[in-house]
């Protein structure tokens, strides 16, 4: 604990010996001196001949060129030597050795790794070290020994609800690799879309996807792309619920008469496959047999979440079957279904994984349980001998602050009381990006940078848990990962420009910087129902999940040094002055007009902040009525409006709370 506190102070200090690294390596020893990174930079591999490693070296070299802006004309002596003892498994494999050691000195850098998996991680850490120094770009001297805490570090991406094309999948794989995430859980079918080409059952993608699906060649391309970056791909075909898009083409699989159409709205659907017909299993056997070879990873996700028993209960044939087989309710029917599916998957060489609803008596041993409804199911699953991964607490689509995810530990909560054998069955965790309120333009900003905090929780030693150090490093790494190609920051400006409608966008940006988009449960508009066709082009979509501007102001409001007070004053003045310009441009602009009251509130917060700073700096006591009235206003402004939070309330409230302290 103390060791990390000291180290973090060292790393995040104004004259940091080592730039902000994330996830924090297991051991970092800053050295003296620095390695120049100039146009002659080159890297050489020794020990193994491996296509993944060779292309990773080329890729990282090209990225270093982009991140520094320095054209690379590799010299003859390698700057970075990558020594890899063995190739390791050809496909990334659960539990493989991912460790590496990285040494940087003024003479050169060296990565040593037992396998390619570790070498890939070492390359990412190396490129994170590069910063502009007094004489050019450089990497500081350092000795790093690193290995992951958990072996399953995943990101789940839902491409069912909103279609996300291959470019977006690939750039997110690059960002995942950059922060050492190693499982891409690809949620490929939903009520709203079936996203993979099936040659055996072509009506799945033809009638279930609006023409928006991955061809099998594209699936192979993504799997190879992920493999090259040390990432396993676990596909999910969610059954027996969440299957409306399957039923569009194959209504005979359903438990109700149909016909069925692709879902267009959000929420839980009643449609489910009929678990009592042999034809259902013949279909699944052929379909899963077709999909299995596309995905080399042994784990295969069958969903299993949110099955509503309603159609099963209402269907007399299904009920007769249940009675005959002594299946007392919908849970028992689903367990029967899972047992049949598990047998099919096993035949095709796969290990079944499903959401925690599948944890019922008689769930086949060997199954992996993914806990999303709470940590209790994870503890229960591993206590019963299953392996488990945690997603409860890691739902990125709720747009919670990074700190909220950072505080959740797979071995915390209900898992804290497990014995070591049980705890060892907790393989790791996955962050989940569900697709109701994201599209090609916004998905990156709903994943990054918050998933970086998640990645650190999964990779780094448990004692790495200082929240402010995390935020400081995440801010830097958020910028760095854009060199991989993700556009969480880059897409912000054009979205603000769109809102501004061709006007200078500054007043919109000032407002956008002061608010935060709301997640799944906050996306409500009175008298309006979201569908998959609703444009995601409003402030709620442009605004980030977490405001960096406001976070910095909160720190300043808590510290209140003279520099902090000056910065707060500057920002409060900006807010106060923004409204007049905003109101003028909002008139007649459908995207801005709804934000007029919010802009007024921001201006009022600016005024209140200035007044509060004045009271604090003069030591004057504010009138009690003023304080009470302002607190009341803040409480009103803290209630979400137009699907955003007015984050700007937080630093102002800190100042008012300080003024309200007794004895002031």
Contact footprint for ligand ACM (CB under 6 A) = 305-306, 355, 372
Query: In whole angstroms, how close is the CB of 572 to ligand ACM at the nearest point?
Result: 40
Report, in Å, the least distance between residue 164 CB and ligand ACM.
17
Q: Which is nearer to ligand ACM, 310 or 489 (CB)?
A: 310
Residue 87: helix, strand or coil by DSSP?
coil
Beta bridge partners of 193: 190
Q: Which of 145, 290, 306, 633 is catalytic?
A: 306
- Can you tell me the distance from the alpha carbon of 97 to that of 146, in angstroms, rounded to the nearest whole number? 11
C-alpha span between 28 and 172 (Å, rounded): 27
Shortest-Cβ-distance residue relative to ligand ACM: 305
Cα–Cα distance, 466 to 37 (Å, whole number): 31
- Shorter beta-carbon distance to ligand ACM: residue 145 or 306: 306
Please, what is the minimum distance in Å from the beta carbon of residue 305 to ligand ACM? 4
Closer residue to ligand ACM (CB): 61 or 189: 189
DSSP for residue 528? B
Q: How many CB atoms lie within 10 A of CB 229?
A: 25
Query: Whole-number minimum distance, CB 301 to ligand ACM, in Å?
Result: 10
Closest approach, Cβ 518 to ligand ACM, in A, equals: 18
Contact 517, 644 (CB under 8 A): yes
The alpha helices in 133-277, defined as continuous H runs, are 166-178, 203-208, 216-228, 244-249
Looking at beta carbons only, is 409 or 430 nearer to ligand ACM?
A: 430
Query: Would you say 126 or 372 has its CB closer to ligand ACM?
Result: 372
- For 292-361, the DSSP string reads GGG--SSEEE----S--THHHHH-HHHHHHHHHTT--SHHHHHHHHHHHHHHHHHHTT-EEEEEGGG--T
Residue whose CB is less far from ligand ACM, 306 or 633: 306
CB-nearer residue toward ligand ACM: 174 or 238: 238
- Distances in Å between the alpha carbon of 571 and those of 537, 596, 607, 615, 651? 26, 19, 11, 17, 11
DSSP 428: E
What is the signed CA dihedral for 53, 55, 58, 61, rounded to 10 degrees?
A: -60
Minimum CB–partner distance for residue 357 and ligand ACM (Å):
8
User: Could you give the residue ranges of the DSSP H alpha helices within 73-179?
Assistant: 116-128, 166-178
> SS3 for 28?
strand
Upstream peptide bond of 188 is cis (omega within 30 degrees of 0): no
Q: Is 306 a catalytic residue?
A: yes
Which CB, 297 or 305, lies closer to ligand ACM? 305
Torsions phi, psi for 567 (to 5 deg): -65, -40
User: Could you tell me the smallest distance in angstroms from the CB atom of residue 495 to ligand ACM?
Assistant: 27
Q: What is the rounded distance in angstroms from the CA atom of residue 178 to the CA atom of residue 478?
A: 11
Q: Which is nearer to ligand ACM, 225 or 372 (CB)?
A: 372
Residue 490 CB, shortest distance to ligand ACM, in Å, is 29
A 10 A CB-CB count for 511 gives: 29
Task: Find the Cα–Cα–Cα–Cα dihedral 461, 466, 469, 470, rounded to 10°.
Answer: 60
Q: How far is the CB of 391 from ligand ACM (least distance, A)?
A: 7
- Residue 99's nearest CA partner among 121, 80, 131, 77 is 121
Are 591 and 538 a contacting pair, CB within 8 Å? yes
Q: Exposed, middle or buried by CB within 10 Å (0-12, 13-18, 19+), for 206?
A: middle
Catalytic amino acids?
Answer: 306
């Amino acid at each position: 604990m103390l060791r990390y506190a000291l180290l973090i102070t060292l790393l995040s200090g104004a004259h940091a010996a080592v730039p902000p690294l994330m996830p924090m390596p297991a051991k970092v020893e800053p050295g003296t001196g620095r390695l120049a990174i100039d146009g002659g930079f080159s890297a050489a591999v020794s020990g193994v001949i491996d296509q993944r490693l060779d292309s990773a070296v080329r890729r990282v070299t090209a990225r270093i060129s982009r991140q520094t802006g320095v054209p690379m004309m590799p010299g003859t002596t390698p700057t970075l030597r990558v020594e890899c003892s063995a190739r390791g498994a050809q496909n990334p494999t659960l539990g493989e050795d991912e460790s590496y050691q990285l040494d940087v000195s003024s003479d050169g850098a060296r990565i040593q790794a037992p396998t390619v998996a570790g070498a890939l991680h070492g390359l990412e850490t190396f490129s994170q070290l590069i910063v502009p120094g007094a004489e050019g770009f450089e990497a500081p001297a350092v000795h790093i020994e690193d290995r992951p805490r958990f072996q399953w570090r995943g990101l789940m991406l839902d491409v069912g609800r909103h279609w996300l094309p291959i470019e977006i999948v690939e750039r997110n794989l690059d960002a995942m690799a950059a922060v050492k995430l190693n499982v891409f859980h690809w949620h490929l079918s939903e009520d709203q879309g079936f996203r993979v080409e099936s040659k055996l059952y072509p009506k799945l993608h033809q009638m279930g996807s609006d023409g928006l699906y991955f061809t099998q060649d594209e699936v192979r391309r993504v799997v190879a792309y992920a493999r090259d970056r040390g990432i396993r791909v676990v596909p999910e075909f969610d059954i027996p619920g969440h299957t409306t898009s399957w039923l569009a083409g194959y209504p005979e699989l359903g438990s109700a008469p149909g016909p069925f159409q692709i879902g267009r709205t959000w929420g839980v659907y009643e449609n489910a496959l009929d678990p009592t017909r042999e034809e259902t299993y013949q279909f699944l056997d052929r379909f899963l047999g077709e999909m299995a070879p596309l995905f080399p990873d042994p784990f295969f996700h069958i969903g299993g979440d949110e099955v509503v028993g309603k159609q099963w209960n209402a269907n007399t044939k299904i009920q007769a079957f249940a009675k005959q087989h002594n299946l007392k309710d919908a849970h028992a029917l689903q367990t029967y279904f899972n047992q049949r599916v598990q047998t099919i998957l096993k035949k095709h060489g796969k290990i079944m994984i499903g959401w925690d609803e599948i944890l019922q008596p008689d769930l086949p041993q060997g199954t992996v349980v993914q806990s999303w409804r709470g940590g209790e199911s994870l503890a229960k699953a591993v206590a019963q001998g299953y392996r488990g991964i945690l997603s409860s607490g890691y739902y990125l689509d709720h747009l919670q602050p990074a700190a909220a995810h950072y505080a959740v530990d797979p071995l915390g909560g209900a898992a804290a009381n497990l014995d070591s054998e049980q705890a060892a069955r907790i393989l790791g965790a996955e962050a989940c990006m569900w697709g109701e309120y994201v599209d090609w333009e916004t998905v990156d900003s709903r994943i990054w940078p918050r998933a970086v905090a998640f990645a650190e929780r999964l990779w780094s030693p448990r004692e790495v848990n200082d929240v402010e150090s995390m935020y400081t490093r995440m801010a830097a790494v958020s910028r760095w990962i854009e060199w991989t190609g993700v556009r969480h920051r880059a897409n912000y400006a054009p979205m603000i420009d769109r809102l501004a409608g061709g006007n200078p966008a500054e007043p919109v940006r000032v407002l956008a910087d002061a608010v935060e988009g709301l997640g799944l449960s906050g996306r409500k508009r009175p008298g309006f129902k979201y569908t998959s066709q609703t444009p995601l082009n409003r402030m709620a979509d442009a605004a980030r999940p977490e405001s960096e501007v406001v976070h910095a102001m909160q720190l300043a409001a808590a510290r209140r040094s003279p520099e902090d007070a000056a910065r707060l004053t500057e920002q409060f003045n900006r807010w106060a002055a923004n409204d007049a310009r905003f109101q003028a441009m909002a008139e007649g602009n459908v995207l801005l007009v709804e934000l007029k009251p919010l802009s007024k509130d921001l201006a009022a917060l600016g005024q209140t902040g200035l007044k509060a700073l004045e009271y604090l700096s003069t030591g004057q006591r504010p009138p009690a009525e003023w304080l009470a009235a302002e607190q009341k206003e803040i409480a009103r402004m803290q209630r979400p409006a137009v699907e955003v939070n007015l984050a700007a309330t937080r630093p102002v409230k800190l100042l008012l709370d300080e003024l309200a302290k007794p004895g002031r």
